[in-house]
Amino acid sequence: MGCGQRQPKGFTAIELIIVILVLGVLTASIMIKNPFTVSDYSSIAADQLIADIQYVQMKAMGAGSARAISFAPGSREYTIQEEAETRKLPQDNSGNPVVTTTNFGGYGHRLFFNSLGEPCLSTTSPPSSCTGCPSGTGCTVSIGTSSLAHRVITIYPETGEVR
């Protein structure tokens, strides 16, 4: 080594701290970008679906006639029929959650509400006569991955309460 030249010593403490801070910021930004799990998305989707079911129920009571919402199991889509509006559940990167199953007492995948806001099951549209949801269990819509339900929404008979 010549005169006045220093030997390389490696990283200084300040350089190491800066590298650690940069890595920490990158890690935090990646975690913030997508912090949800499938069950979190299922809860968000269930809340949205409950609001839309209650919306259809209120439309039926306000209009004084039956209104319907229909589901496509295995899909993110559902339709508010009188408005011919198709809505979609929020999704994660893999396309979940979806409506996994519906249980409307053997009347397909369409749920009507009558002018009193009660759930009404029928095979015809508009319903000429209808049957209420099964006593005790109510009508249900399950949301989750295509193979596993994470959240079950229940529409209770007589009251039409949605939970």
Confidence label for 134 from pLDDT (cuts 50, 70 and 90): confident
The helix/strand/coil state of 68 is strand
- Please check the confidence at residue 154 and state whether its pLDDT lies above 70: yes
Check residue 58 and give its pLDDT. 94
pLDDT in tens, 76-130: 999 998 788 899 998 877 778 899 999 988 888 999 999 999 998 888 877 878 8
Q: What are 124-131's contacts with CB under 8 Å, separation 24+?
A: 125/68, 125/81, 126/65, 126/66, 127/66, 130/66, 131/105, 131/107
- Please check the confidence at residue 1 and state whether its pLDDT lies above 60: no
Quick one: what percent of the chain has pLDDT higher than 90?
A: 42
Check residue 119 and give its pLDDT. 92
Check residue 30 and give its pLDDT. 78
Check residue 42 and give its pLDDT. 81
- Please check the confidence at residue 37 and state whether its pLDDT lies above 70: no
- Please check the confidence at residue 32 and state whether its pLDDT lies above 90: no
Q: Are 87 and 129 in contact (CB under 8 A)?
A: no
- Can you give the pTM of this predicted structure? 0.74
Q: How confident is the model over 9-32, as a mean pLDDT? A: 87
Q: What domains can you pick out in the chain, each with its CATH number? A: 38-155 (3.55.40.10)
